[in-house]
Structure formats: C-alpha cells, structure tokens
Amino acid sequence: MRTERGWSQHELAARTGISRTAISAIEGQRLTPSVTAALALAAAFGCRVEDLFGTATPTTSIPIWAWPASVDPCRFWEAEVRGRHLLYPSEAGQFGLGTHDGFIERGQLRLHRLYTPQQTLVMASCDPAAALLASEYARTTAFRLMVIPRASRQALQLLSDGLVHVAGIHLSKPAAKRGHRHLVHEQLGKGYALMHVARWDEGVAIGGGESVQSVRQLMKSPGRWIGREPGSGARQCLDELLDGKPAPKRMAKNHQGVVEAIRCGWADYGVCVRLVAEDARLKFLSVRQEAYDLVYRQHDELDDRLRALWTVLRSPRYRQLLSELPGYDISPLGEIELCDP
C-alpha cells in the first residue's frame, strides 16, 4: 500500500508518528506492531487493520517465561505458542538456534530479534538430527525452528503444557500394535496426532578399550555404565537390558552426553542411537529399532509454521539427507496418524 501511493518509509513515518526504523521492521516481518501502531497505519492508508495484517488482531500480550531463567544475565529466544508470547532462556544443547532474540539483565529486557514470535516454531526433542531439520526449515521457509532438547516424556509434558508446538518421541518399537498412539492418548488425552519420521537403531556405544562382541557378552561384563534419565527412550532400552539390576548413578541428559562420557573415560558403555556413536567413532551394538514420531495438536494443523514443517519433512532433499544418516530408516516419513481411539 505504501509503494502503490509512491510514499517513502520516511513519509509514512511522518504521516503515522511511527519511526522509519519500526516501519522497516514491520514490513520485513521482524516486528509485530502494537494495536496503536496498527490503527495509525490503517488510518494513514484509509483501510481496516484486517486489510493490512489479516484477520488476526495485532497482539500486545506481555511476554512471559516458558520456565525461569537460571542465570542473570541471560540470553533468550521468543515464540508465540497457543496465543502466548513466550521467552525461552538459553540452555545447554539447544539445536537450530542462531542469534538470540534478546538479553535480560537485572530484569531489563533488550531485544534485537531477526524473527518475530509468530515466525518461530518450537519443538522439544532429543533427536540428534534435529539441527539438520532446523537448517532445512530456515533455508526453505519464512520461519525458524527452535529445538529444545528434552527426553520423550518430558517433551510430551511440554506439549501438554502449551510450551511447545511439537514433541519428538521414541518410546515404541515399530512392531508394537498401536505404536505411540496409546502412549500419547494416555498422557495427553484427545486431540493429538503423529507425524511419522523414521525408524532408528538404538543400542549400546562401547569404549575403545572394550572387546565385547555381543549384547549377551556385554551384560556379563563388569564395565561401567552411563545412564539416562527416566522418561527417555534410551532409559527404557537400558532398563530392559539391565533386567531389574540397579540403574547407573551417573546420568547423561542426551545421546551426545552418553558418547562424551564414554570418550572421556567416565564410562565404558551407554545406550544411544547409532548416529551419535558412529559420529564419535565408537563401537555400536544394536539392541532394537525404535519408531521416532512427532506429536502435535490437531487444532494446530492450519498453523502456517506447522504446515511449513510438514512440507520440509516430505521434501525430496530432506528425505535424501535423512536417509544418508547412519541408522535412520525413513520409510514411514510423512505419514500422519490420529491418536484418538
């Protein structure tokens, strides 16, 4: 509308009382206008706010922390989830994140975002290939993918609490009759669906000084284990291997943490997916194949961010990239399954 009238950004700024910098940021979708700014722009153009910004009313919601920041000062990222403007404090192991959106020190927020909260999709997952998905998502869409590293059941809880859009889980063997459907319905209730992504190899990474050749031989070995937290697929696999024996006292937070503990000599064995074991040049004994799925609310199916994610997942380029990773079988990739009984 500005260019149709032959106005410069400076002229529009003068007509509305909004700074030229703010107008540039709004046009570049780096800034969501306040109600006051949206009304001023609509008045200048002689149109409705909806004609400029669609049917959604510009939000003036106050940002809230998804969970408390553990340090001060602290970097953070922003996203809009279920109508709430959420701030996510920085933490170890986050995937797919470039420049932070802001900085807080002694309660004072400083913003320098490249993406608006409405352009950010949030996924909780422990998938070591999540950075690959985030990279393709940013490269091919107008959005970004922020991946919060969480074990499967923790990811489902964040989805239930309305703090993420998508939860990645691997708690079911592909041969299981109902797969993840029963688990999701049991923990979250009605209204959720699955996007199948892959079947991957989970097993035991082994330190270089160990000579075991089979899982049976491994379980008779006196070597030291690194564990995983309850609620993770790796912990479920480890509990099956230990068959009632006490779990290790030392715990890793993710698959990468398992291989780092082994590489640094703190443990001899640990359960993880094949990808991270091979990347770390560790020996790997496969124990089982697991289904890796993404869980989302059916109500969010029309969210442009989620639809863009499905497009990336089903794209030939992403399928090719994922298929080249060790231990990933992508034959189920792109299939949708409802979780309601």
Confirm whether pTM is higher than 0.95. no
Q: Tell whether 335 is covered by a domain.
A: no
- pLDDT (average), residues 329-333: 95
My answer on whether 205 and 286 are in the same domain is yes
My answer on whether 303 and 174 are in the same domain is yes
Percent of the chain with pLDDT over 70: 94
Q: Tell whether 340 is covered by a domain.
A: no
Cβ-defined contacts of 322-326 (< 8 Å, 24+)? 322/129, 322/132, 322/197, 322/198, 325/129, 325/132, 325/275, 326/201, 326/274, 326/275, 326/278, 326/279
The total number of structural domains that make up the chain = 3
My answer on whether 72 and 179 are in the same domain is yes
- Residue scoring higher pLDDT (95 or 99): 99
End-to-end CA distance of the chain: 49
Q: Tell whether 262 is covered by a domain.
A: yes
What pLDDT, on the 0 to 100 scale, is given for residue 152? 94
Sequence-separated (6 or more) residues with CB below 8 Å from residue 54:
none
Q: Point out the least confidently predicted range of 119-123, 146-150, 177-181, 257-261.
A: 177-181
pLDDT, tens digit (0-9, with 9 covering 90-100), for 188-242: 999 999 999 999 999 999 998 778 888 889 888 888 999 999 989 999 999 999 9
- pLDDT (average), residues 72-92: 90
Whole domain around residue 205: which residue ranges?
201-290
**CATH number of the domain that 115 lies in?**
3.40.190
Q: Tell whether 80 is covered by a domain.
A: yes
Q: Tell whether 337 is covered by a domain.
A: no
Measured CA to CA, the distance from residue 198 to residue 332 in angstroms comes to: 6
What pLDDT, on the 0 to 100 scale, is given for residue 58? 46
What pLDDT, on the 0 to 100 scale, is given for residue 113? 83
Q: Tell whether 142 is covered by a domain.
A: yes
Q: Tell whether 3 is covered by a domain.
A: no
pLDDT bracket for residue 57 (50, 70, 90): very low
**CATH number of the domain that 209 lies in?**
3.40.190.10
Q: H or E segment at 292? A: strand 283-297
My answer on whether 284 and 242 are in the same domain is yes
- Residue scoring higher pLDDT (340 or 263): 263
My answer on whether 177 and 219 are in the same domain is no
Q: Point out the least confidently predicted range of 32-41, 253-262, 300-309, 329-338.
A: 32-41
